Every structure is written in structure tokens, then in C-alpha cells.
Structure 1
Amino acid sequence: MYVEVSASTRKNQKKILEAKRVCDRAGARFTKKRAQIFEIILLADIPLSAYEIADIYNKSCKEKMPPLSVYRILEFFGTLDLVHKLSSNNKFVTCSHISCDHIHDDSQFLICNNCAIATEISMSSKLMRDLKKLVRNAGFALINPQIELQCLCDACSANSKISLS
């Protein structure tokens, strides 16, 4: 897979500018390298690992970046909620709510087991409260409320012989 850096659409440019604003508000710099890594993730059709991101960066940019440096940038973006780590496959996606003007709840993702696309969704506050209550009632303390549901997207489902219920 190859992602051409700087092929952003107007919508993606808005997200890049908002990411820069988030960094500025946090007192952090949105450096050229950070911007390039953010753009690689933003332009990808599917979640990417740090190694995949480093490979795309190294093919697209004049200088090389080791995966460890990519991990540091991803961790930085994660602290600002610009990027989410999918624990089920150790890959990263940009937050789909970056350029929204409202507060967001915990992240939930639908991940296609066939084509690997991931879609961030929002669950109702009531559903999340009920889930947290179930966890407490079971004698557990919720550490990470991010939910990742393994699914088949509509396109893969239409091409599949698997019957879905």
C-alpha cells in the first residue's frame, strides 16, 4: 500500500489545520515531521501500524524515520486525542471527530475482518453509562472504555458467502 503525501483534499486540510490548532492550544509544536505522519494516517484507507507508517514516510519523504520515532509521534498524537490506537491489531487511525466543535464520548470502532477498514462510531451516553455500571456490578474497574467490534463492512458482506444475523 502506498499513500501519496500532500494529496490531501480540502476536508483533510481542515483536519490537518485543526490538528495544528490542538497542538498549539496544548503548547506543543506541530512540526513538519508530525504533520507528515498525521497526513499519512489521515490519507490511509485502513489503520496503519507504526512500521507501515515509517515505510510510507521513508518512501515519500527525503529523509528516513525509524519506527521508534513514529511511535513517539503517535504517542504524542494519542495524548491529544488526534489519533486512536486500535488495541486489537496495534494499528492507528486519526480521530474522526477532529474538526467537530462538540465534546465527544469514548471511542468505539467497527473493524472489518476482511478489508481492515475501521469506522469510529459514537454510542449513546446512556448505553455507555449502562455498560460502565455492568462492569462495576461485575466487580471490575473499567480501565479503557474503547470498544472495538470485529465486523464485516457492507461491501465485504455483499461479496461474502457468510450469512450475517
Structure 2
Amino acid sequence: MQIFEAIIGHVEKRCEAKGKRLTTQRKLVLRALIDANQALSAYELVDYCKQYFGETIQAMSVYRILEFLEEVHLVHKLNMSNKYIVCSHIVEGHEQGIPQFLICSKCNKISEKIVAPETITGLQSHARQEGFTVVSPQLEINCVCDKCGQ
């Protein structure tokens, strides 16, 4: 609980510095993602808040909250699964780069790393050469973690 409060205190200051507000419901959704320690869909968040915190929150509210949390770089949307995960850099004040997610296809363990800008530039250049425009440079790579591989 103390770790969550420290994270929320830091996040509130970051939001205030950007002219944004971390409302009670936004804190609830963020707390659920931190507490769950795994990627959750909006409907899984509704269930999680009800089951673990005794709080009822509407799915449409969760979607709006997730949009806000993504906008202020506190969570990431995993496009392959349509789920959300807390940014692993949530307490760091630096601007975010392009995230790469290694996702275990067996246990859903996720590791987030920031991709070097030159790697993304190279990928975008290659896409342009092939007649494509990169819409979202976020990388999501299906893997098997060492634990599941044994």
C-alpha cells in the first residue's frame, strides 16, 4: 500500500505539472493496473475494481480513464491483446521513447524496454521504401519466457 501511495503522489505531481488532474476514478484504475501487475482489458479492470477494491466503475468510464492515462504516459495499450499495462517508467520523469514489449505467449509475462531512436528510424525508412507508412512504431514481440520454456 505504501508503494502505491508513493507512486500516486509522484504521478499526481507529474499530472499537475502538465495541467492535468488525477481524479479518484483515475487513481482507482491506475491502482488496479499496478496491483494486478499484468495487462488487463477495460472489462477486466471493471471486474478487478469490483472484486479487489469493492468499487463499481462503468466500462465507458474505464475506457475514458485509460485514454487519459495513456495520453499522460502512465499506461500503454498492447494492441495485439487490446489490454493495458502500467508503464514500467511510471515514476521516472523522463519523456517516453518508443516502447518494445516482450510478451510471453504462455504466462503473459511482459517486459518493457525503450527502443533506440535510430532503430525506429530505420524501421520507418524501410517501411517507406516498401510503400508503407508506420502508424504506430510500438513493438510487441511474442516470446516464451525462460521459466515457461523449461
Which TM-score applies when normalising by structure 1? 0.83
Instruction: Decide whether the 8 Å contact of 2:40 with 2:83 is kept in 1.
Output: yes
**Amino acid in the other structure paired with 1:148:** E
Alignment partner of 1:52 out of 33, 37, 44:
44
Superimposed CA distance per residue, residues 113-147 of structure 1 (whole angstroms, 9 cap, x where no aligned partner): 00112111122222222111111111211111111
Structure 1 residue 31 displacement after superposition: 1.4
Q: Which amino acid aligns with 2:137?
A: P
Per-residue Cα deviation, 1:35-83 (whole angstroms, up to 9, x for no partner): 1110110122320111111111112344411211111110111111111
How much does 1:14 deviate?
3.6
Please state which structure has a larger fraction of its residues in strand. 2
Structure 1, unmatched stretches of 5+, are: 1-7, 159-165
1:14 touches 1:99 (CA, 8 Å); kept in 2? no
**Superposed displacement of residue 105, structure 1:** 1.2
Task: Give the secondary-structure state (helix, strand or coil) at the position aligned to 2:77.
Answer: strand
CA distance in 2, matches of 1:50, 1:103: 25
Partner residue in 2 for 1:102: 94
Structure 2 CA distance for aligned equivalents of residues 149 and 14 of structure 1: 31
Superposition misfits of 4+ residues, deviation over 4 angstroms: none
1:155 aligns to what? 147
Query: Matched residues, percent identical?
Result: 35
Distance 2:72 2:93 in 1: 15
**Cα RMSD, aligned residues only:** 1.6
1:89 paired to 2:81: yes
**Residue 73, structure 1, aligned to residue 65, structure 2:** yes
